[in-house]
Amino acid sequence: MSLVLDPTAQDLLFREARTANTFTDEPVTDEQVQAIYDLVKYGPTAFNQTPLRITLVRSSEARERLVQHMAEGNQPKTASAPLVAILSADNEFHEELPTLFPAFPQAKDAFFAERGAREGSAALNAALQAAYFIVGVRAAGLAAGPMTGFDAEGVRKEFLDDDHTPLVVVNIGKPGENASYPRSPRLAYEDVVTTV
């Protein structure tokens, strides 16, 4: 094999991992979420920026408020998942750059003084971090059900502020009965990769 990672881990993270639509009622602990974050925080981003923010929706009152903003097909699974996380981009991430990117602390002002530049970079790099987070959930032996079918402005007003842009809502837990659809096809290597 050309990969160093053990085939069992490859299966856990990718080949056998599935998006879950149903979950058992086994809880997801704060310790599990911290372990996930402490692993995936090392994923690369531009200038080592860390715009991802994670809002854990644990209380039943908060869950009810969130469900109202989900697309109709996403409401039942969001209502019943053991844990739901709102992943958002912090558009003021640049304030942390002098600490997070000491090799070039001036990046904060040189590249991100304008709000528009920050929003674009925050969206891209927080999306990268969201993908790492999903893989981290899988590494914890849990399943993730990421969803973009929701009223983003409603979620922002309900749970965030003007400096945060919601990107994805992720249901997290042990997969339940009939949790996944049949595996959909993927493009072949030759359909995706070109050499110049």
Domains plus CATH for the chain?
Answer: 19-173 (3.40.109.10)
pLDDT in tens, 39-93: 999 999 999 999 999 999 999 999 999 999 999 999 999 999 999 999 999 999 9
Q: What is the mean pLDDT of residues 152-176?
A: 97
- The span from the CA of 13 to the CA of 32, in Å, is 16
Res 195 pLDDT > 90: yes
The per-residue pLDDT for range 16-43, each reduced to its tens digit, is 999 999 999 999 999 999 999 999 999 9
Rg (CA), the chain: 18
CB 168 within 8 A of CB 66: no
Query: Residue 45: how many CB atoms within 10 A of its CB?
Result: 20
Q: State percent of the chain over pLDDT 90.
A: 99
Q: Could you tell me the pTM of the whole model?
A: 0.95
User: Which pLDDT does position 81 carry in this prediction?
Assistant: 97
115 pLDDT higher than 80: yes
